[in-house]
Copies of this chain bind each other. A is one copy, B any other.
Amino acid sequence: MSTKHSIHDIYKALEAGTLLQVKSLLNNALHPAEIGHFLESLPPSKRLVVWELIEPEIAGDILLEVNDEVRAGLIKTTQPKDLIQATENLDTDDLADLLQDLPSSIVAEVLQSMDKQNRLRLEKVLSYPEDSAGGLMNPDTVTVRADVTLDVVQRYLRLMKNKMADNTDCCIVVNRTDHYLGILWFTDILTSDPSSTVAQVMSHDVDAITVHTRDKEVAQLFEQRNLISAPVVTKSGLLIGRITIDDVVDVIRDEAEHSLMSMAGLDEDNDMFAPVLTSTKKRAAWLAVNLITALLAVWSISLFEGTIREYVALAILMPIVSSMGGIAGSQTLTIVIRGLALGQVSKSNTKSLLLKELAIGTLNGLIWSLFVAIIAVAWYQNIDIGAVIAIAMLVNLSLAAVAGVLIPIAMVRIGIDPALAGSVLLTTVTDIVGFVAFLGLATIYL
């Protein structure tokens, strides 16, 4: 494909300052999502230069593709009249997404300029939370009744040409009161006898999604049932829209990236080139939380000042105990956090998981405590130091496994995001247990 070449060419043209060339490459060679992706990779000064060169007609599509932080930055620097133009030509669901990030004066103006029917549709989408099926759905659906023939449906579809939303691959079959009955796939219209009725050909395989279903659950349904699109209904079964997979793919990626970014105290909407002060502030908060952890660890070490003064070897060896516990615990924690995100860790298997992780932790504890003990004995010619570090490591790795399972599960139960807070809490446990076990045992036995 030519995307990579184009992006490279744009970079070069940008460096050379030949903006007309950048403009033509941008608007001709790349799709809106690719331009969005490219904008995300640019430092702020260049990003604004490129943004200025983009045709207003595709600006809306591009704003939808970039992450929240980048979008907010671009919106701030765009003229109101250009923003209003950017909202034109968008599907209703996309327009709803974009409006939620625009200044309220512009939202009012956009709503005013719409005809009544479209405004009502839009307000319907806006009335549901962004992270629910209602927020993802597009209210523009093609509906048919069950008692008409395919021939009639096809004539109706010809009338609807140019009015259908992107990726429409079916009609939704509803009854007289607009309640969902089934799906009439375009494939089935094309391959069935035109005189058949919709009722004879329609599929009952696709369950409708209730409008308040969380976006994360919607993504799971799409993934697990290999759906391309699904109807959205109210609690009572009234059809109100349709979700297509292209909206869901973003949720799947965000969901999968959420754990990765949260474990480093970041969020998946992070702008790689956010202003230095903004980033510094956000990261300072995470460093502050971790400083408290470090201070707790340091305080636990200070309890054994006398012992360390007597045996400096302890001060030298102690990072091994805490860091091996931290690494082993993080492995368990990562597995459990992913399992929780996928809905595969629940009450039913917590006990099995705990026992299994404890067994692995203890076994690895045995292996590595023996290994480290040999090194310590060889180094300091002191068998007692070897025994103390071995026991401390065994205790720490076993406990790390237990903490790695129980901490994230407990957090979910009290409503805290385990991906965000789990690793800090786990490290606190493995640091303190590691230091106290090692230095405490040394105080008693050496």
Contacts and interface: CB of A to CB of B under 8 A. Distances in A.
Contact of A305 (B245, B261, B316): B316
B276 A359 contact: yes
A291 B371 contact: yes
A363 B161 contact: no
A263 B266 contact: no
Contact of A330 (B157, B264, B305, B316): B264
A434 to B, nearest CB: 10
**Which of A43, A210, A287 counts the most chain B CB atoms within 10 A?**
A287
A280 interface: yes
Interface in A317-354: 317, 319-320, 322-324, 327-328, 330-331, 333-335, 338-339, 342-346, 348-349, 352-353
A84 interface: no
Given A312-B308, A363-B276, A367-B284, A339 B228 contact: no
Nearest to A326: B290
A403 to B, nearest CB: 15
A89 interface: no
A40 B348 contact: no
Contacts of A343: 37
A364 interface: yes
A228 B228 contact: yes
A444 to B, nearest CB: 19
A404 to B, nearest CB: 10
A190 B153 CA distance: 9
A224 B360 CA distance: 41
Contacts of A383: none
A363 B297 CA distance: 25
A75 B309 CA distance: 59
Interface of A: 1-3, 8, 11, 15, 31, 33-34, 37, 40-43, 65, 154, 157-158, 160-161, 164, 166-169, 186-187, 189-193, 207, 209-210, 213, 217, 221-226, 228, 245-246, 249, 252-253, 256-257, 259-261, 263-266, 270, 272-273, 276-277, 279-280, 283-284, 286-288, 290-291, 293-295, 297-298, 301-302, 305, 308-309, 312, 315-317, 319-320, 322-324, 327-328, 330-331, 333-335, 338-339, 342-346, 348-349, 352-353, 356, 359-360, 363-364, 367-368, 371-372, 375, 431
